[in-house]
Amino acid sequence: MADRWRIALYLLPALALVVLFLAIPLAVVFGMSTTEWAGVGVPEWVAFDNFTRLAEDPAFRTALVNTLIWVAAGTLVHTPLCVLVALVIARRPRGWRFFRTVFFLPNVISATALAMLWYFVFHVSLGLLNSALSAIGLESWVRPWLFDPSTALSATMAPWVVYIGFGMVLLLTQISTIPKELYEAAELDGASTLRQDLSITIPLIRRAIALQVLFVVGYALRSFEYPFIMTSGGPADSSMTLSLYIHRQMMTANQYGLSMAAGVVTLVVGTVLTLAVFAALRRTER
């Protein structure tokens, strides 16, 4: 009994922080999502009208779809790139330290600075991409990448997709824990490098891959810097995300209740996606 009280006492500070900075704010968000409030005065209770307005708002539907596209790009493109690069660098080819540093370096730079950098990469007249296309004779491919509804979303996602440093380091750390004896036994059996990666490395790092996917989902749901700085959600809301939609409703339209309702939807979507990742992990472990 004394041990239980001692454990509870040790957990109390952390539990207090969780309640203060998570449980109470979540309760406030849920409560405010059922009100109409412009930031001043007394909030007016409107029940679930805010959620009805969200369902009828084309900008919100676009933001929701775009956020799910961010999740898909992170899961199907960003994460496989992290796995591929981690597998190659784990073999320690010539110059592997240099490439590890180069891939990780963008992760220590402000996302705001990187967004500004990529803004000028895709700039219609000063951009590096259009200049390169013109230089190699592909003038027909030149376009206003950030001002074309068909390419704006992809352009804002590109920086995040190609910066794989964090996921690479996460997976490299897990790969380093795999016993070398497994690879030596596989080599004695005549297994190629590809077969070793498919049969040994990837199955043993599946938990790290699932953790990387969770990080991807979390970032996609709060993707803000790149679309805000590069396109401001435009043109015609084609690159709008849930985080940017919440910011617009709160800071521009002063629709605090509506923004809180959008936050609740974001929380629900994040919970569903997280449970899906854990379900997929349990299925692979079986």
Q: Tell me, what CATH number does 233's domain have?
A: 1.10.3720.10
133 domain-assigned: yes
Number of domains within the chain: 1
Which residue in the block uniquely carries the two structure tokens 């299925």? Answer: 283
Question: Residue 37 is which amino acid?
Answer: W
7 domain-assigned: no
What does the pLDDT look like over 222-238, one tens digit per residue? 899 999 999 999 898 99
What does the pLDDT look like over 148-159, one tens digit per residue? 999 999 999 999
| CA 116 to chain centroid | 19
Question: Residue 70 is which amino acid?
Answer: W
The pLDDT value recorded for residue 253 is 79
148 domain-assigned: yes
39 domain-assigned: no
pLDDT band at 250; cut points 50, 70, 90 = confident
42 domain-assigned: no
Q: Quick check: 276 pLDDT over 90?
A: yes
139 domain-assigned: yes
Between 169 and 283, the higher pLDDT residue: 169
18 domain-assigned: no
Q: Quick check: 60 pLDDT over 80?
A: yes
pTM score over 0.85: yes
pLDDT band at 1; cut points 50, 70, 90 = low
1 domain-assigned: no
Question: Which domain covers residue 277, as residue numbers?
Answer: 50-285
Contact call for residues 202 and 83 (beta carbons, < 8 A): yes
